[in-house]
Structure 1
Amino acid sequence: MSEIITAVNKEDKEIGPIEKMEAHHNGILHRAFSILIFNSNNELLLQKRALNKYHSPRLWTNTCCSHPRFGEKLKDAIYRRLKEEMGFICELKEAFSFVYKVEFEDGLFEHEFDHVFIGKYNGNVIPNKDEVEDYKWVNIEELKRDIEKNPEAYTYWFKILFDKIKNYNLIK
């Protein structure tokens, strides 16, 4: 099913609607978000992307990431997708944003203006099996070591994001 998202410029100003796969085939900058959920032990909830994802299948990444639909407020989209992907909702606060572009081996692109949200949660996780193959809570120091040792096991944007959250002192 076709999904219409929002093309933006480098300042995150809306250009207009674009079909999601068209944006990914042509490398068009579009609005996106990434969510990082920590528990009370300061562990980060990671998900392993499902095998059927159109890019980066079976790679570990942040708790949730997606795109607001065209006309949907970012604040609504983050809660909608967190519930759809991971089966829960918690309070989220925007921490920062960044732009990145990468071309994958299959010719698809990620060219995103990525808004990063942080939350705290200690309850049950009920992942959507169409989106998430697996999940785990990870100690930050262990995660840092594993990314250094096995960078190919993680999504491109998550490795950028992880470096940025260290720089923003968002992890202890």
Structure 2
Amino acid sequence: MKPLLYYEREADYDALLASVIMSISPRDSVEFIKAKEVTDCIWEGTRLKRLQHDAVTAELPKAVHDLIGAQFAQTAGNDFNMDGESAKEDVYKRTRMATQKDAVKRPLRDLLKYYNVDEQVVHAMAFKSALPFVEKIVGIRDAVEQRGEKALRSIEQRRLSLAAQTRSLTHGKGGSIIHDVTEVYGNKT
């Protein structure tokens, strides 16, 4: 079963799986299962990284509002817009829309500049707001990475064990397969 969410592309997952399989070169079905586990961990880790980014991005409107909303609301007074929203609600709504649409990022940057607010400060405040959630994501990512590393170590240990078994079978007591054969069948030369 592929660990895909409804919006994720199966072709992207398949390409990642093919790349991991090419890199690991599984020798049997057990190693293939471990290679798939590594792929799943990479896939899930990437998704969690996106989720971290999205969590901070979702806090940007609140950060903008907190930084310039009060100043803007003082300028606008307690006026209400056409929808009956207060100036503060209007600012929050507009900044939320502005941070989500690329076409209006420039006006938002201009607004921040007008109020002498650095974009990095906005991002820092957004990160601070999202920090509890981001910390949980980091913990989950760490567990996923450990699971992937465990699968890789399992493949490596299995290969080392098989190599040792092969050496022991081919070299036997006398140190070589020829010695073992002559010991069993005698030297008929």
Q: TM-score range by the shorter chain?
A: under 0.3
Q: What's the TM-score, normalizing by structure 1?
A: 0.24
Q: Which has the higher helix share?
A: 2
Larger Rg: 2
Q: Which has the higher strand share?
A: 1
Q: What's the TM-score, normalizing by structure 2?
A: 0.22
